Amino acid sequence: MISYRSLDSATERLFEETLQKVDGQLEIRRKDHELGLKLLAKFDGLKIYKSLFVHHVTELKGRSGAFIILLVEKHVTIIEQKKNTRVEKDIEEVEPVLLFSLPHDMGRAYIREETVADKIADMFTKIDIDFNEYPDFSRNYFVTGDSPDKIRKYLPRQLMESLEKIRDISIEINGNWGLLRTKKNVSENLLLLLISIGYKMTK
């Protein structure tokens, strides 16, 4: 379930103070949370959570385009083993995410950090999409999708350049929209990292 509710004041203040650091470099436009809900509904990666709440849907506009930063409050129940008992534990986190549009429909695509198991499996399956001009990106990230030729042709070069030196990012693309996540709790550094990636794609 994806919906809306108010956010705690400390996180509100953190988000606003971080945005002030980039005010002047990017045009900041507040958007209705309904836009965030509509865009997030395109992606499968968030459907594992019991409930989601959307906060601070914010468009940041550069010279050649715009991207969206928003906060996702996630609720999930995990099972912990304690002695001989299985105990349910509710976990709540607020994760910042980056949403970006693409000029071309790429179908479905998934990008995540590549593991040793992925490298071994790919020797047989050959499903990892590599980019010869971005060897560090290809070495660090496992890229799959419905249309490999479109992905090779249209995946933004600025995005691959940004991720060559950054790990632990996951991206899901559906058509001409992408969702970039770190799956980590919100912090100033994390917000600035997402903004810098979006900025490189729109400058």
What is the dihedral sign for C-alpha 126, 131, 137, 143?
A: negative
What is the CB neighbour count within 10 angstroms for residue 158? 15
Looking at residue 184, its pLDDT comes to: 93
3-state secondary structure of 36: helix
Helix axes 9-20, 188-202, angle to 10 degrees: 40
Say yes or no to pLDDT of 91 above 90: no
Confidence of residue 58 (pLDDT cuts 50, 70, 90): very high
Q: What is the pLDDT of residues 111-144, one digit of tens each?
A: 999 878 777 777 777 788 999 999 999 999 999 9
Local structure of 58: helix, strand or coil: strand
Residue range 31-49: mean pLDDT, rounded: 91
Q: Tokens 């809306």 sit at which residue?
A: 4
Range scoring the smallest mean pLDDT among 63-77, 92-106, 114-128: 114-128
pLDDT category at 48 given cuts 50, 70, 90 is confident
Spatial CA neighbour of 175 closest among 145, 138, 134, 143: 145
pLDDT at 92: 83
Length of the chain: 203
CA distance 135 to 122: 16
CB neighbour class for 75 (10 Å; exposed up to 12, middle 13-18, buried from 19): middle
SS3 for 147?
A: coil
% of residues, the chain, pLDDT over 90: 67
Query: Percent of the chain at pLDDT above 70?
Result: 98
Exposed e or buried b per residue across 3-40, where buried means at least 16 C-beta atoms within 10 angstroms of its C-beta: ebeebeeebeebbeebbeebeeebeeeeeebeebbebb
CA distance 124 to 147: 19
Mean pLDDT of the chain: 90
Kindly tell me if the per-residue pLDDT of 163 is higher than 90: yes
